[in-house]
Amino acid sequence: MRRRVSEPIDQLWDEEMTRRGARHARIAQAAIALAAVAFAGCPAPNSPPEPKESTPRGAASVTLRVAVENDASLAAAIRRLRGEWNAQGGGELEVVEVEAGSLLSEEPPEADLCVFASRHLGQLSEAGLLRPLRSSVVGDETLRFNDFLPRVREDEIAYGTKPWALPLGCPPPLLLYGGDNDAPPPASWEEVAQRYSWTPPESDHELALAYLAWAAPSAVHRSFEATLFDSKDMTPRLTAPPFVRALGQMVEAAGAEGRPRVRVVWPEREAGARNPVAAHVSGGWQVAPLPGATQAFNPIPEVWDPFEGGPQRASLIASSGRLIAVTSSSRNAAEAFRLAAWLAGPENTRMLATSSDSTANPRGSLARGADDWLGHGDRDRGGQFAAASVETLRSGRRLITPRLVEIDSYLAALGAEVRRSLAGEAEPTAALDAATAAWEAITDRVGRERQRRVYQRSLGLAD
């Protein structure tokens, strides 16, 4: 279980409630003024009786249960909104924390909505546990669906040809780099390999994602949507030239002496002042989107195509993040969809998107707000993180973390082999051969045809 973020979310909550209180006060004052005008202009004795107030929508004592998987901090933040939801006529809101894997267990928790990692959207949908978003939710003006950043709106919450969930926060990986304060960030991974010292993530899971993010700019090609697998037979493409080159560059940069340091990072708010990440970067540090590549590999003629105008990036999407969806078992689906839209709406996004290590701003309208990813309380740095995250989620080129059945098993196997290569225990080609064999075994265990359909839906190539 993740630990709870306490101080930052308490401060955001106080600020948010103060703002909302002022807004409610203004509305109340306006209502009093309108009532006074109406009273002065209408003789009361001959006026028809006032109609009774209609019951607020959703106030029929509906209790909605939200199951939050493996994110105690986000669960606590949602729990803080129970009173506000009830005050708006939404009924009762119950929030329960469940362990990783609970939603896919033989006895999943009873809930109207569930909150889960973005990369699990495919397997939850395939298990029949979720309802796709209704068109009325997408079209609700209060949700402002088109305000979600492009990669979130078009990729992270979509499965097949439709959206299945709403984002509570979607952090992409970013670059933390050392050197002079006015030094520009490295433009390409080739530059990182030649001039920087890279510190790998400690977990195999994050190492696998960092590797995919490193390979993405040279592996993604405009002529081919299926980058990681052959979409016809699910043969992995890990031994293709861009993936071998990326691992070779990682090995070259890992632990190099006498160079400015770089790291691939996701939010680590919970460590606060104890966060060791910045200490790994000598001579100060800056934040930027991940670098690009000077070439992309075209898998059809099997040649490298250079980019005109310099290196180009490709964003890794759905590597982290938390989505909320209505469960197929909910008996209050209409109210559950309304709650999902309310939680993901502009009013609540600012707080929920900064409440957890697995969330970050998914909206364009909040692009200028600071986001203290590392919990250091540095507002300038927070502005850099927020700007780099938004720029990444607006990118045109992207690699979607495959929302496969047992995706975490694929990432664990890949991370373990990448780490063997970094440790000098295997050449990049040999390590990727071993990772390919492990991926083939997982695919066979799940079912090759089943996984092929899931992969195509993950890419939006099939409904």
Same domain, 281 and 416: yes
Same-domain check for residues 82 and 152:
yes
Residue pointed to by tokens 């101080």: 7
How many folded domains does the chain comprise?
2
pLDDT over 60 (residue 282): no
Domain of 429, CATH number, reads: 3.40.190.10
Contact by Cβ (8 Å): 21, 93? no
My answer on whether 209 and 285 are in the same domain is yes
Same domain, 223 and 311: yes
Rounded CA-CA distance 329/180 in Å is 55
Which is it for the CA torsion 104, 107, 109, 110, positive or negative?
positive
Res 23 pLDDT > 80: no
Is 374 in contact with 362 (CB distance < 8 Å)? no
Q: What is the pLDDT of residues 441-461, one digit of tens each?
A: 999 999 999 999 999 999 999
Pair (226, 202) in one structural domain: yes
User: Residue 396: which residues within 8 A CB-CB, separation 6 or more?
Assistant: none
d(CA 408, CA 350): 29
Q: What is the pLDDT of residue 378?
A: 80
Residue 391 resides in a domain: no
42 or 169, greater pLDDT: 169
Q: Which residues of 237-249 are buried (b: 16+ CB within 10 A; e: fewer)?
A: bbebbbbbbbbeb
| Total-model pTM | 0.86
Q: Are 132 and 186 in a shared domain?
A: no
For 167-214, write each residue's pLDDT tens digit.
999 999 999 998 777 789 999 999 999 999 999 999 999 999 999 999
Q: Is 453 part of any domain?
A: no
Question: 208 with 164, same domain?
Answer: no
Residue 31 lies in a domain: no
Mean pLDDT of 249-267: 94
Beta bridge partner(s), residue 114: 67, 325
- Residues 301-324 pLDDT 10s: 999 999 999 999 999 999 999 999
Q: Is residue 461 part of a domain?
A: no
Residues 291 and 406 in one domain: yes
Q: What share of the chain is helix, strand, coil (3-state, %, to 5)?
A: 45, 15, 40
Q: Any bridge partners for residue 254, and if so which?
A: 198
Same domain, 330 and 289: no
Range 414-422 average pLDDT: 98
For residue 339, is it within any domain? yes
In 3D, which of 398, 397, 374, 372 has the Cα closest to residue 386? 372
Residue 210: which domain range? Answer: 174-317+396-446
How confident is the model at residue 276, as a pLDDT? 61
Tokens of 347: 């009013």
Q: Which pLDDT score is estimated for 379?
A: 84
**264 and 412 belong to one structural domain:** yes
User: In the structure, what pLDDT confidence band is assigned to residue 89 with cuts at 50, 70 and 90?
Assistant: confident
Are residues 189 and 300 located together in one domain of the fold?
yes
Q: Are residues 305 and 218 in the same domain?
A: yes
pLDDT in tens, 420-433: 999 999 999 999 99
Q: Predicted confidence band at 5 (pLDDT cuts at 50, 70, 90)?
A: very low
Residue 102 has pLDDT above 80, yes or no: yes
Residue 340 has pLDDT above 70, yes or no: yes
Which pLDDT band holds residue 53 (cuts at 50, 70, 90)? very low
Q: Tell me, yes or no, whether 12 lies in a domain.
A: no
306 occurs within a structural domain:
yes
Q: Is residue 8 part of a domain?
A: no
